[in-house]
Amino acid sequence: MSQEDHLSKTLGLTAAQQQKVHEYLQDESVSSQGFGQKMRDQHAAMRDAIQRGASAEEIDRIALDGATAQAQVTAAHAKTLAKIYATLTDEQKKTFNEHPEMSMGFGGPMGPGGRGRMPAGAASQRMRNRTQQQD
Question: Quick check: pTM over 0.75?
Answer: no
Q: Calculate ∠ Cα 106-112-115, nearest 5°.
A: 95
**Average pLDDT, consecutive stretches of 10 residues, N- to C-terminus, the chain (135 residues):** 88 96 92 84 95 97 91 89 96 92 57 35 43 45
Of the candidates 31, 6, 18, which has an alpha carbon nearest to the alpha carbon of residue 84? 18
CA 103 distance to own-chain centroid: 10
pLDDT given at position 32: 82
pLDDT given at position 73: 85
Q: Are 106 and 78 in contact (CB under 8 A)?
A: yes
pLDDT given at position 105: 56
Q: Are 12 and 92 in contact (CB under 8 A)?
A: yes
pLDDT given at position 70: 87
pLDDT given at position 112: 34
Phi and psi dihedrals of 110, rounded to 5? Answer: -100, 0
